[in-house]
A and B are shown apart, each in its own frame.
Chain A
């Protein structure tokens, strides 16, 4: 059974700070990882995809992948109150997604 683990939080950060979200996965064969943002009662929104070891940056978001450690993270720089949501880590990419339980992020103004 493929598993994706996340700290459920809540993770509280002050406005303007860096929020760091972490995820581990069990399947060493996983090649793709996705971060989704989900506001309460809304659908998951894809915000980052990462396929290779290292960092991938997109605006205020940076995804980091370490396949040797089976670890993927998401950094949100200059956090805004509008970033307050649940962030779901998901893998793999060539089969239906297996989601982590999600980390609830609260950005305090």
Chain B
């Protein structure tokens, strides 16, 4: 079965640079979520999109922005990168079924900020 695709898988950036992470949800899934997971931490919700509209916003810094495109893929744009942004970034997708929407995670992008 098709899974969530994320690119790139690894990314190394310098402080104050920008980064763009991409996510391709499972076909026919209409909702995309972005999570950040620091070392030894549980995943923290950043932002989500349902049918190309922002649906929820979590602890996403103002330096980050995201959008979902007409083909349902999503991009997380990160600017003025800081050392503390080094983390695993996961995208998850689901088909909205009310409280039963199971979220399936992509393999993640490991971002390292030097």
Contact = CB atoms under 8 A, between A and B. Distances in A.
A100 B107 contact: no
Counting chain B residues whose Cβ lies within 8 A of the other chain, the interface size class is 20 to 34
Interface residues of A, number: 24
Nearest to B110: A41
Nearest to A44: B105
A42 B90 CA distance: 10
Interface in B28-51: 33, 35, 42-43, 45, 48
Interface string A24-56: 000000011010100001111110010100000
Nearest to A91: B99
Interface of B: 33, 35, 42-43, 45, 48, 56, 58, 88, 90, 92, 98-108, 110
